[in-house]
A and B are shown apart, each in its own frame.
Chain A
């Protein structure tokens, strides 16, 4: 996304003293949570995994909030303005089935095996080489993405409030640093839940006023001339695939299966929220509870985008092909805020926007420090130290992560911020798609060997990198003609297939681990009672059944597709 253009357009908001006061109150509460959470941190597990003590509604909302970061909010309102209803695929087919799958099928292994991170699961299942590959690539990717999030945040502060870029990058990093160093994951998660409500409080009034202004749903239907913008299928504009049939195939298998399952089920920044739940039942429910707001939130993200393309003059011009105003699709939210919100609620909206940006950075930092402390430092550098030692390492890793993220933010700034979204999608296709393939084969096929674990991962990653290299125009070896998103769909799909084929082939000629070492890690070797959750005490009641809740959200999504598809 080219956020660099943002400062040139007139986005300065008319914020008054009351708006700043509301913003300051929020930051005071955020830092207060950090200070209060500190009192409950007495071990490294408390700091890095919240002592596995949080209720499901907290981890569920944090699960979804960790994903509601800068790029998500800016990118999806922009997609709404540009592509219309087809954007819902990112929320429905591109998230809900994978979240239910994570809760019902994969969580029993993650939570039941008591691993503290996704890479640690890799180590137990496949041994050190696969573990090291996964831990290092995850840590590096988190720092890069944290930097991009910080940069996007700083650009917005600059455009909205007029603070210089370096100042806003450092201020934002310091706030995240302060509360995550003090309170660890608990503070990050508590703030994510708070952020969720503030983001909703920011977007809901915007949507309601927008709908009134445009004349309700009927007004949108009347004023959008291109009928394809109002239906979700076959989304040929979104996928860049001309044939409707192949466009749907690309959506279902590329986005709905490989990319989405890869992201939601193996990305530790997400899975960590579920691992911090207080029981197996709460851990299973975490992604499923998060799926409900995920299914409904397009109403206050995509609809404002669609409305902006009608009622914001600069947006309507851009949509008609006139780029002279300097506005880009990523400016949708600030433009709507400028045009529709009076002082007071404007302060809440600015707070919500900044809160969402910090949520992304905090999720990157808090998952980085767990992987760094447990998977890199404890496993490969200093083993067998007392727990206080690792608590200290965790705190220092947080400081290190924030400093490094400031560095990568300036790199992102130097690159001019172009094509960030394509770049992130490419990163996901390199790392998440092969990881998902290795996980799924390894969880259900006990014969898969440690060697196959790391060889498969590398083969999948190189496949995705190869597709990127031959489709990215700037490398000059353009053998494939695909738009940015299409290339990542294809790269992810091929990486998945190659990983599975290589893993099976290598497994057949190498030695598997003995069954006794795979109990709790492989489906057929894990007794049913270890995979089930308790149904007594705080886990009792039909409304707490993960399967029922999961079925409910799948049914809800299907109904939504029938109404709005």
Chain B
């Protein structure tokens, strides 16, 4: 059985989350938000980390595509 590549789903979800958080962090952070998080712009930093995670998974999926080197069907024994 052949499944879609999970690495691309992870890259998609965290890419989207990361971009949203970076936008919030840069454009919509209030002083109250900063005070809550001890002066750290946590949305911005977490967003950057998520974009980086997304890039790592996307790169991994590009460099080592699924089923590329061994194109065999897994053995099914019942």
Residue B59 lies at the interface, judged by CB distance under 8 Å to chain A: no
Residue of A at shortest CB range from B4?
Answer: A36
Interface residues of A in 1-55 (CB under 8 A from B): 18, 22, 25-26, 29, 33, 36-37, 40-43, 45-46, 50-54
Is B69 a contact of A537 with CB atoms below 8 Å? Answer: yes
Interchain nearest-CB distance for B37 vs A (Å): 5
Residue of B at shortest CB range from A187?
Answer: B3
Q: Which residues of B contact A46 (CB under 8 A)?
A: 1
Is B1 a contact of A50 with CB atoms below 8 Å? Answer: yes
Q: How far is the CA of A387 from the CA of B14 in the complex (A)?
A: 38
Q: Which among B14, B24, B34 is the interface contact of A197 at CB below 8 angstroms?
A: B14
Q: Which residues of B contact A344 (CB under 8 A)?
A: 20-21, 24-25, 28, 43
Is B13 a contact of A26 with CB atoms below 8 Å? Answer: yes
Interchain nearest-CB distance for B11 vs A (Å): 11
Interface residues of B in 34-65 (CB under 8 A from A): 34, 36-38, 40, 42-43, 45-46, 49-50, 53
Interchain nearest-CB distance for B48 vs A (Å): 12
Residue A205 lies at the interface, judged by CB distance under 8 Å to chain B: yes
Q: How far is the CA of A18 from the CA of B76 in the complex (A)?
A: 46
Q: How far is the CA of A22 from the CA of B78 in the complex (A)?
A: 42
Is A193 a contact of B6 with CB atoms below 8 Å? Answer: yes
Q: How far is the CA of A40 from the CA of B3 in the complex (A)?
A: 6
Residue of B at shortest CB range from A338?
Answer: B36
Is B21 a contact of A212 with CB atoms below 8 Å? Answer: no
Is B6 a contact of A58 with CB atoms below 8 Å? Answer: yes
Interchain nearest-CB distance for A182 vs B (Å): 13
Residue of B at shortest CB range from A36?
Answer: B4
Chain A CB within 10 A, most for which of B2, B32, B38, B69? B38
Interface of A is mostly: helix
The interface bits of chain B over 1-36 (1 if a CB of A lies within 8 angstroms of the residue's CB, else 0) are: 111101001101110110011001100111011101
Residue of A at shortest CB range from B53?
Answer: A197
Is A18 a contact of B9 with CB atoms below 8 Å? Answer: no
Residue A162 lies at the interface, judged by CB distance under 8 Å to chain B: no
Is A342 a contact of B9 with CB atoms below 8 Å? Answer: no
Q: Which residues of A contact B14 (CB under 8 A)?
A: 197, 201
On chain B, which size bracket covers the interface?
35 or more
Q: How far is the CA of A201 from the CA of B15 in the complex (A)?
A: 13
Q: How far is the CA of A270 from the CA of B78 in the complex (A)?
A: 21
Q: Which residues of A contact B36 (CB under 8 A)?
A: 339-342
Q: Which residues of B contact A340 (CB under 8 A)?
A: 36-38
Q: Which residues of A contact B10 (CB under 8 A)?
A: 193-194, 197
Q: Which residues of A contact B43 (CB under 8 A)?
A: 342, 344-345
Q: How far is the CA of A343 from the CA of B34 in the complex (A)?
A: 11
Q: Which residues of A contact B2 (CB under 8 A)?
A: 40, 53
Q: Which among B4, B46, B75, B78 is the interface contact of A387 at CB below 8 angstroms?
A: B78
The interface bits of chain A over 200-224 (1 if a CB of B lies within 8 angstroms of the residue's CB, else 0) are: 0100110011001100000000000
Chain A CB within 10 A, most for which of B2, B12, B30, B46? B46
Is B13 a contact of A25 with CB atoms below 8 Å? Answer: yes
Residue of A at shortest CB range from B24?
Answer: A344
Q: How far is the CA of A256 from the CA of B32 in the complex (A)?
A: 46
Residue A114 lies at the interface, judged by CB distance under 8 Å to chain B: yes
Residue A79 lies at the interface, judged by CB distance under 8 Å to chain B: no
Is A53 a contact of B74 with CB atoms below 8 Å? Answer: yes
Interface residues of A in 525-562 (CB under 8 A from B): 537-538
Given A42-B1, A45-B78, does the pair A209, B6 have CB atoms closer than 8 Å?
Answer: no
Residue A186 lies at the interface, judged by CB distance under 8 Å to chain B: yes
Chain B CB within 10 A, most for which of A194, A198, A205? A205
Is B38 a contact of A213 with CB atoms below 8 Å? Answer: yes
Residue of A at shortest CB range from B33?
Answer: A342
Q: Which residues of B contact A201 (CB under 8 A)?
A: 14, 17, 46, 50
Residue A513 lies at the interface, judged by CB distance under 8 Å to chain B: no
Is A52 a contact of B42 with CB atoms below 8 Å? Answer: no
Chain A CB within 10 A, most for which of B1, B9, B20, B76? B1
Is A114 a contact of B1 with CB atoms below 8 Å? Answer: no
Q: Which residues of A contact B46 (CB under 8 A)?
A: 201, 204-205, 345, 348
Residue A278 lies at the interface, judged by CB distance under 8 Å to chain B: yes
Is A209 a contact of B1 with CB atoms below 8 Å? Answer: no
Interchain nearest-CB distance for B21 vs A (Å): 6
Is B76 a contact of A43 with CB atoms below 8 Å? Answer: yes
Interchain nearest-CB distance for B53 vs A (Å): 7
Residue A263 lies at the interface, judged by CB distance under 8 Å to chain B: no
Is B17 a contact of A194 with CB atoms below 8 Å? Answer: no
Q: Which residues of A contact B24 (CB under 8 A)?
A: 18, 343-344
The interface bits of chain A over 343-380 (1 if a CB of B lies within 8 angstroms of the residue's CB, else 0) are: 11100100000000000000000000000000000000
Given A18-B24, A342-B37, does the pair A348, B17 have CB atoms closer than 8 Å?
Answer: yes
Chain B CB within 10 A, most for which of A54, A342, A538? A342
Residue of A at shortest CB range from B78?
Answer: A45
Q: How far is the CA of A285 from the CA of B18 in the complex (A)?
A: 31
Q: How far is the CA of A381 from the CA of B36 in the complex (A)?
A: 60
Report 7 cross-chain contacts, Cβ distance below 8 Å, ordered by A residue.
A26-B13, A40-B2, A58-B6, A339-B36, A340-B37, A344-B24, A345-B42
Contacts A194-B9, A342-B36 known; 14 new A-B pairs at CB < 8 A = A18-B20, A18-B24, A22-B20, A40-B2, A53-B3, A201-B14, A201-B17, A205-B45, A212-B38, A340-B36, A341-B42, A342-B37, A342-B42, A344-B24
B residues touching A (Cβ–Cβ < 8 Å)? 1-4, 6, 9-10, 12-14, 16-17, 20-21, 24-25, 28-30, 32-34, 36-38, 40, 42-43, 45-46, 49-50, 53, 69-70, 74-78
Q: Which 6 A-B pairs have the closest CB atoms?
A: A342-B33, A51-B1, A344-B24, A344-B43, A53-B74, A40-B1
